[in-house]
């Protein structure tokens, strides 16, 4: 007589238990915003770690100038002290070298670290990457101070301490600054153009014409001038390898190389892309804009050379490469040079190579001659 009631009661208990279980299951699979955020951050960190580990392995395999991570901190500290002493000698004040979290994995011939600084996240998607190189020739000392001025400028922007610019301008951009590419030649009692092995590291890049013409041009055109010796083998020098690795690691949209004392701006890149096409036209417009912002600074089409950065990056790899030749290596004029070119450099860093610029200019100043090889 009581069986149906008992059966119904048992069924209701079973259904209730089932609903409770289903509810728990739903709760357990609902995504948490906090967990999702943490997951993304963890994914980004892991991605960056993978990149770093891969590059570490590649650098370690490339030669004896690789420096293990645990040794780098002390080497950077000692190197910054050397830089400060040299800055004091030239009346430039503090370098603020110790303020920056430098990257480095390789050393120069005489074991000084080959350093670079990043502004931006190299593991994130970005719309523009710029590499800036200074101190390629150690006797061109004003470019080195110029690069440290660039570092200070970018640091002010990144920390929102700049009155004209803010950190949003650096969003989705990556800027790499290598202020002393050739430290051995800079730290000599009498700084030299060539590195410790007597090789011009701006004639040592592995360009396609290196083997066939580098030594011939050095012998015939330059009468074996020691200042321009390219070396018997391309990329034989750690300072050259350092620059090549930066290009491979970051795949820049443009390169700015600062030298002295030829008083000019030069663009390196294939002539057809220089005069036309989206990237080429934009690259040429940026050159003109940089000139105008520096009070009409002279633009000149300087020739390519076997083993040069302009040939390797601009001509062979289609990377718009700008060479800014400061007016002199006179250490007393460093402030003047930074004041003159500050706006030009800022514009160059912020410019996207795929976008056009509206510039008003005198075409006679822009230099229309094509590159010569």
CATH number at 302 reads 3.40.630.10
| Cis upstream peptide for 261 (omega within 30°) | yes
Q: How many domains does one find in the chain? A: 1
| Residue spans of alpha helices (H) in the chain | 3-29, 33-61, 69-89, 142-158, 183-186, 215-220, 238-250, 271-275, 278-293, 309, 316-317, 334-350
Domain assignment present for residue 259? The answer is: yes
What is the rounded distance in angstroms from the CA atom of residue 371 to the CA atom of residue 108?
Answer: 32
Domain assignment present for residue 8? The answer is: no
Sheet containing strand 128-133, edge to edge, reads: 117-119, 173-178, 128-133, 254-259, 321-325, 264-268
What is the rounded distance in angstroms from the CA atom of residue 15 to the CA atom of residue 176?
Answer: 64
Domain assignment present for residue 302? The answer is: yes
Domain assignment present for residue 137? The answer is: yes
pLDDT in tens, 234-255: 999 999 999 999 999 999 999 9
Domain assignment present for residue 299? The answer is: yes
Give residues with Cβ within 8 angstroms of 18, minimum separation 6. Answer: none
Using the CB atoms, write b or e for 57-75: b if 16+ within 10 Å: eebeeeeebebeeeebeeb
CA 162 centroid distance within chain: 22
Give residues with Cβ within 8 angstroms of 370, minimum separation 6. Answer: 271, 274, 301
pLDDT in tens, 87-98: 999 999 999 999
CA 144 centroid distance within chain: 15
Domain assignment present for residue 308? The answer is: yes
Q: Which domain holds residue 217?
A: 112-365
Domain assignment present for residue 157? The answer is: yes
Q: In terms of Cα–Cα distance, which of 214, 278, 242, 249 is closest to 122?
A: 249
Tell me the pTM. Answer: 0.81
334-350 and 142-158 helices cross at what angle (nearest 10)? Answer: 50
Q: Within 10 A of 54 (CB to CB), how many other CB atoms are there?
A: 11
Q: Spell out, as residue ranges, where the chain has pLDDT lower than 50.
A: 1-3, 5, 20, 23-34, 272-277, 360-373
Domain assignment present for residue 169? The answer is: yes
Residue 122: the pLDDT is 78
């Amino acid at each position: 007589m009581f069986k149906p009631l008992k059966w119904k009661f048992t069924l209701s208990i079973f259904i209730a238990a089932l609903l409770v279980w289903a509810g728990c299951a739903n709760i357990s699979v609902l995504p948490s915003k906090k967990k999702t955020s943490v997951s993304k951050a963890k994914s980004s960190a892991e991605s960056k770690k993978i990149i770093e580990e891969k590059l570490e392995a590649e650098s370690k395999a490339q030669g004896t100038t690789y420096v293990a991570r645990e040794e780098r901190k002390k080497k950077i500290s000692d190197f910054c002290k050397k830089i400060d002493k040299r800055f004091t000698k030239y009346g430039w004040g503090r370098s603020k070298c110790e303020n920056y979290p430098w990257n480095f994995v390789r050393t120069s011939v005489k074991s000084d670290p080959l350093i670079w600084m990043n502004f931006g996240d190299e593991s994130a998607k970005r719309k523009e990457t710029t590499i800036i190189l200074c101190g390629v020739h150690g006797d061109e000392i004003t470019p080195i101070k110029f690069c440290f001025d660039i570092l200070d400028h970018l640091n002010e922007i990144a920390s929102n301490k700049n009155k004209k610019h803010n950190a949003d301008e650096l969003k989705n951009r990556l800027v790499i600054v290598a202020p002393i590419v050739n430290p051995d030649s800079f730290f000599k009692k009498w700084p030299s153009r060539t590195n410790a092995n007597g090789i011009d590291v701006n004639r040592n890049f592995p360009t396609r014409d290196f083997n066939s013409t580098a030594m011939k041009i050095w012998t015939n055109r330059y009468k074996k001038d020691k200042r321009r010796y390219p070396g018997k083998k391309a990329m034989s020098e750690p300072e050259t390898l350092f620059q090549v690795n930066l290009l491979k690691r970051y795949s820049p949209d443009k390169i700015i190389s600062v030298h002295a004392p030829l008083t000019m701006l030069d663009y390196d890149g294939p002539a057809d892309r220089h005069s036309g096409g989206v990237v080429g036209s934009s690259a040429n417009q940026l050159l003109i804009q940089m000139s105008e912002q520096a009070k009409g600074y002279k633009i000149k089409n300087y020739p390519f050379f076997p083993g040069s950065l302009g040939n390797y990056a601009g001509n062979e790899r289609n990377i718009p490469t700008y060479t800014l030749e400061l007016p002199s290596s006179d250490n007393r004029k460093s402030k003047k040079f930074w004041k003159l070119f500050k706006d030009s450099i800022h514009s160059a860093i912020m410019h996207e190579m795929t976008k056009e610029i509206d510039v008003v200019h005198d075409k006679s100043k822009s230099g229309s001659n094509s590159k010569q090889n």
